[in-house]
Structure 1
Amino acid sequence: MPAALISVVITTYNRPDALTAVVEACFAQDDLGFEVIIADDGSGHNTAQAVAALQARAPVPLRHVWQEDLGFRAARVRNLGTLDARGDYIIFLDGDCVPQRNFISQHRKLAQRGYLVQGSRILLSEQATARVLAQQADLHALDTRTKLAWRRSGALNKVLPLLMRLPDVGRARHRFSWRRIKSCNLAVWRTDLEQVNGFDESFLGWGHEDADLVLRLFHAGVMRKDGAFATEVFHLWHRQNPRDQASSNRAAVLQRAVDRTIVAVRGCAAAARPAPSRHGIAITTKFNLFHCTD
């Protein structure tokens, strides 16, 4: 992929310390050919203040889109972030997933027309997460001995992907699989998102809106590449979200597999994209009155 602009859409909800760690890691990337859009699912003033502080020292464009807190609406807020994005390639990243320094450059290497890239993650324990956030520790400064010690102690759930990189060979998957679909680290071409009308906002509550997107992209002919051993992020520990609607969401996705659905029922059509701001990184855009097209 040439040195084109990449858009990183980071979802967040009332966790400014974790968000700050994620965005600071974005600022430290070895490839700065990207922008950041904070896709905020209704956080309060603490998050807005954290974003403003980050904007003041951002080495890349950084904007903030926000929607009213009406419950878990990850699909909708990711669509808002997508609409505000200006890049041709969009990486979805959660606000508790700290990227390594070569995260952008590795995603750029793996980017290929006709494919999405499912990134990978390393889980941190509750104790390790608390220590990292309290000390504002630089996870990228961990040497090999420390990484191995953290793995032995259970602070990390795996370590090998942090110690080696695999080349872009044998990553393509031409058959659909439900395994390892995670929108906390997922890269998709904008044109492919537009073809399927983005995430489906009819998925409310936790769960399966990411599987639905990847399934519909597959039905549209977009294949998948595995980003393991190349795109790892450190996933900070958090309590599980309530999963009241997980069963109904899963049932909807399974039915779409049967129906070979491509276009989201309630998505985010390209015609709804707002005009780019002229004011650069200092602008915080709120879309609480904006709604995507059906």
Structure 2
Amino acid sequence: MTASIAPDIAVIVSTYERPDALDAVLRSLDDQTYRRFEVIVADDGSSLDTRALVARRTEELGFPLRHVWQEDRGYHLAAIRNRAAAETGREYFVFLDGDCVVRPDFLRRHARLAEPGRFVHGSRVRLDRELSRTALERGLPIQRWSATRWLRERLRGRVDRFTPLLRVPLGPLRRVSPRAWRGVKGCNLAVWRTDFLAVHGFDEGYEGWGFEDNDLVVRLIRNGVRRKEGRYAVPVLHLWHEERPPAPASRERFERRLRSGYGLTR
């Protein structure tokens, strides 16, 4: 990254019917040391509880916060993310899920990794059900916990990994597998607005869970945008939720995308 890049960031936080987790995410964003950002809540049809939460937090938090909502017609994550992106003029997008809490240097490190012609993929540390429940019920500021505390939770088996929470220098992480799409998750993905618009954003043909983030990355790579690894630089703390298999239609759509083109590595 050149020293001159300090992008204005739009954090696009997707959510559906989980206001307690969304509140934890918003409070963690209020702890950020990097302040050149706004937050767009991309709401795929939640009820009034989420709207009320965002309205309340808009008055209380120290950053611009907006709520973009669409009617609940089933899973349409791609569509609401595109609508949220259309609501901001910021030059750099960080896509985040509404159950992914971020540490205070998350956006500062994303800003330092920002580089023209590249998107940044970050990792996640998954909390188990009990730790997630406790954190939400007690309002624990888990984003401020030390590496020592997280090591203790790992030894207890309450998180699935520890190494992404270590503070690793950013330099060696910049250019790993630049044409690889595997492993990229939309819960922690950064891309320049111009690159996102050049491929027409997320494919709204995905109307079931899974693969819309992989599809975006494939089209970015085919359009000349390269991957920049942030696995040990910008982790998120992913609160527990029940796992679900990808929708068969989404898998089939993505497989057709892979067959249609070129220029990728696994």
- Same fold judged by TM-score > 0.5? yes
Q: Cα deviation per residue 1:161-214 (whole Å; 9 max; x = unaligned)? A: 212223222431455334211000000111011110000000011000000000
Q: Distance in 1 between matches of 2:136 and 2:230?
A: 26
Q: Choose which of 161, 164, 169 in structure 2 pairs with 1:161.
A: 164
Q: Distance in 2 between matches of 1:170 and 1:11?
A: 27
User: Which residue of structure 2 lines up, in the alignment, with residue 191 of structure 1?
Assistant: 194
Residue type of the partner of 1:89? Answer: Y
Displacement of 1:230: 1.0
Q: Choose which of 164, 171, 174 in structure 1 pairs with 2:174.
A: 171
Pair 1:138 & 2:141 matched? yes
The answer (yes or no) to whether the contact 1:173–1:223 under 8 Å persists in 2 is no
Does the C-alpha gap of structure 1 residues 145 and 170 become closer, same or farther in structure 2, counting only changes over 3 Å? closer
Alignment length, in residue pairs? Answer: 260
User: Which residue of structure 2 lines up, in the alignment, with residue 54 of structure 1?
Assistant: 57
Provide the secondary structure at the position in 2 that maps to 1:260: coil
Provide the secondary structure at the position in 2 that maps to 1:11: strand
User: Which residue of structure 1 lines up, in the alignment, with residue 229 of structure 2?
Assistant: 226
Q: Distance in 2 between matches of 1:167 and 1:3?
A: 15
In percent, how many aligned pairs have the same letter? 40
Q: Distance in 2 between matches of 1:145 and 1:230?
A: 17
The answer (yes or no) to whether the contact 2:178–2:228 under 8 Å persists in 1 is no
TM-score, normalised by the number of residues in structure 1: 0.85
Q: Distance in 2 between matches of 1:22 and 1:49?
A: 16
User: Which residue of structure 1 lines up, in the alignment, with residue 242 of structure 2?
Assistant: 239
TM-score, normalised by the number of residues in structure 2: 0.93
Gaps of 5+ in 2: none
User: Which residue of structure 1 lines up, in the alignment, with residue 20 of structure 2?
Assistant: 17
Residue type of the partner of 2:252? Answer: A
Provide the secondary structure at the position in 1 that maps to 2:205: coil
Q: Distance in 2 between matches of 1:199 and 1:29?
A: 27
Residue type of the partner of 1:118? Answer: H
Q: Flag as ranges the 4+ runs of structure 1 deviating above 6 A.
A: none
Q: Choose which of 170, 182, 185 in structure 2 pairs with 1:182.
A: 185
Pair 1:94 & 2:97 matched? yes
Gaps of 5+ in 1: 263-294
The answer (yes or no) to whether the contact 1:118–1:225 under 8 Å persists in 2 is yes
Provide the secondary structure at the position in 2 that maps to 1:169: helix
Q: Distance in 1 between matches of 2:258 and 2:188?
A: 23
Displacement of 1:145: 3.2
Does the C-alpha gap of structure 1 residues 257 and 175 become closer, same or farther in structure 2, counting only changes over 3 Å? farther
What RMSD over aligned residues (CA atoms) do the two structures have, in Å? 1.6
